[in-house]
Amino acid sequence: MQMRREQVLPALLGFIALLLPTAAFAAIAVPHGNGPAMLTEPTRYAAWLTVAPIVLPIIGSALTLAFRHKIAWQANIAFGAMFLATVSAVFLNIVVLSHGPLLLAAGNWLPPFGIIIAVDVLGALLVLVTCLVGFIGLSYARCDVDHEGASFGFYTFYCLLIAGVCGSFATGDIFNLYVWFEVFLVSSFGMIVFGGERIQMDGAVKYGVLNLIATTIFLIAVGALYGFTGTLNMADIRHVLAETEGAPVVTVGALFVLAFAMKAAAFPLHFWLPASYHTPRIVVGALFAGLLTKVGIYSLMRVMIMLFGDKGTMFLPLIGWVGVATAVLAALGALAQTNLRRLAAFLVISGVGVMMIGIGLDTAEGLTGAIVYAVHSILVMTALFLVIGVVERLTGDADLTIGSNVYARYGLAAGLFLIFGLAVSGLPPFSGFWPKLMLVQASLAGSGALALAGAVGVILSGLLTTIAIGRAWVLVFLRPRDGSENGHVAVGAPRAMAAPLVALAILVVALGLLPTIVIAPAQSGAAGLLDPTVYLQRVQDME
């Protein structure tokens, strides 16, 4: 076997970099107090709400598996589970908004020993949007996934994916976060190869390997963090890290930033996303685009801001600058694409950059803007992918090199694409306007190069996105057919497919006209991350 220099050098660096923390962390343990280890009184009914949006989809997926021979039942079972999960997420939000963070000790084992599920305002908001998008996406999937698809377990994976994402938003234990990462990663593997076409194999290999590496880096960070804090509970970690100085904090923080940036597809680590997101079924791509990168962003917020507290501030300028580069370069990438799906994939990355700018600003306003943008991005990226799917079904292609004259033939699809596209760009009266406005304001309120670059990055990426969307609109939707078809067959779209898209459009416009329904919880979520006193107190009361 021939040694290659470009492989040897990084390998040596990896050896040195990862040798040091292992040696430093070995053989340190932190003993804990001698309080009770287990709750003896029964769990309050309200606390079950924290796990309902996780457990209900898992039950749904188990039922689809149990009734795998009843193909006609599959979609209905998943539909019922997702409906109940969404309803429970609504109640969860009501409780959390009025009473503060809600905790559940899994198996009644108390925090330092057992895993707790801890939902604060940010977690509850994201769980609700996830369930909502899962529910709406399922109404689309009912029309898109055929009999054969259902028999291969599409709905099983679908419910598990939603459960995994909700679990990531709800957990109060860092190792448990890793486990939820793996839950939705495994489900996403099942979904990305769904259909088994050649192009999917190509995309799935790249998606699978790189995401597995990212998750493994996350595991290294968790292991090392446990090595010197002696706890996995998020509230405990916050306490211990506040009193810890020195090299291990920097090492572990850098590993967390690396892992979550890779998950979120931030600039130098984003290459897996446009290589894979356009290959699976459009429902799958839509769900991935809406949810999976946002889990990376959420984890970045939770770990770097809430867990690391003051120690995290040293990473925030890095996150901010990476965000600026991601926002602008990905928007440029979107301009260079001809395939609409790939164009939308680059817009997902651009949005990730905008959210990272918000995190990097290190102010409550910036963080609020990032949270509002995350909610907007989950809704609108899912919607954009779904409407591209409809266009593909109607015309056979969605490519800038092929004029499809969609506007003249299918006015509703063309109008919906324009709504979602302009919402991504951040134009009023759609949902993207407010978070971008908040981020620009937060940037201009700060001082320094990053604050300026943040404002410029948000505005420039918005401008480039508008150009990319406008170009797609003109070339695909307005241009008459010129006979240069790819040979794909138009399969037509059932009328029922319009329902989920119209519902998403109503949500996008509603968030644009009444932004306070998201801004208010986002503000309280950001405040909860920056100053988690109530959260920590709740955990302490439990102990």
Partner 1 sequence: METIFSIIVGLFFAASIYLMLSPQLVRILLGVSIFGNAVNLMIFTAGRLTEAVPPVLSAAGDHAPQPPVTPTSPAPDAIADQAAAAGDAAVHAAHTAGDAAGAVASAISQSNADMLATANPLPQALILTAIVISFSIFAFLLVLTFRAYQSLDTDSVDSMRLAEPTPRVPPLGY
d(CA 265, CA 267): 6
The two tokens of residue 41 are 């009184």
Stretch that binds partner 1, among 72-80, 274-282, 378-386, 388-396 (CB under 8 A): 274-282
- Of 342 and 436, the one with the shorter C-beta distance to partner 1 is 342
| Secondary structure of residue 33 in the 3-state scheme | coil
For the CB of residue 242, give the shortest distance to partner 1 in the complex, in Å: 8
For the CB of residue 533, give the shortest distance to partner 1 in the complex, in Å: 20
Please say whether the dihedral angle defined by the alpha carbons of residues 366, 367, 370 and 371, taken in this order, is positive or negative.
negative
For the CB of residue 142, give the shortest distance to partner 1 in the complex, in Å: 27
Question: Would you say 362 and 451 are in contact if contact means Cβ atoms under 8 Å apart?
Answer: no
Residue 42 as a binder of partner 1 (CB under 8 A): the answer is no
The two tokens of residue 44 are 């309050």
Backbone conformation region of residue 7, classed left if phi is above 0, alpha if psi is from -120 to 50, else beta: alpha
Among positions 439-498, residues that touch partner 1 (CB under 8 A) are: 474-475, 478-479
Residue 175 as a binder of partner 1 (CB under 8 A): the answer is yes
- Of 73 and 189, the one with the shorter C-beta distance to partner 1 is 189
| Total of chain residues touching partner 1, rule CB under 8 A | 76
For residue 119, the surrounding DSSP H or E stretch is strand 116-119
Question: Would you say 112 and 543 are in contact if contact means Cβ atoms under 8 Å apart?
Answer: yes
Q: x/- site string to partner 1, residues 3 to 22, per CB under 8 A?
A: -x-xxx-xxx-xxx-xx--x
Among positions 182-221, residues that touch partner 1 (CB under 8 A) are: 182, 185-186, 189, 193, 196, 198-199, 201-206, 208-209, 212-213, 216, 219-220
For the CB of residue 155, give the shortest distance to partner 1 in the complex, in Å: 19
- Of 360 and 421, the one with the shorter C-beta distance to partner 1 is 421
Stretch that binds partner 1, among 98-106, 149-157, 276-284, 295-303 (CB under 8 A): 276-284
Residue 152 as a binder of partner 1 (CB under 8 A): the answer is no
Among positions 397-426, residues that touch partner 1 (CB under 8 A) are: 400-401
| Identified binder of partner 1 from the candidate list 140, 157, 228, 288, rule CB under 8 A | 228
Residue 230 as a binder of partner 1 (CB under 8 A): the answer is yes
d(CA 137, CA 145): 11
Question: Would you say 338 and 401 are in contact if contact means Cβ atoms under 8 Å apart?
Answer: yes
Stretch that binds partner 1, among 95-103, 174-182, 298-306, 321-329 (CB under 8 A): 174-182
| Identified binder of partner 1 from the candidate list 168, 293, 337, 368, rule CB under 8 A | 337
Query: Shortest CA distance to 402 belongs to which of 326, 316, 461, 488?
Result: 488
Residue 378 as a binder of partner 1 (CB under 8 A): the answer is no
Structure-token match 């602008």, residue found: 328
Q: Is the bond into 429 cis (omega within 30 degrees of 0)?
A: yes
Question: Would you say 264 and 300 are in contact if contact means Cβ atoms under 8 Å apart?
Answer: yes
- Of 245 and 541, the one with the shorter C-beta distance to partner 1 is 245
DSSP 446: S
d(CA 204, CA 197): 11
Give how far Cα 351 sits from Cα of 10, 84, 194, 425, 525, Å.
Answer: 30, 30, 26, 9, 20
For the CB of residue 475, give the shortest distance to partner 1 in the complex, in Å: 5
Residue 139 as a binder of partner 1 (CB under 8 A): the answer is no
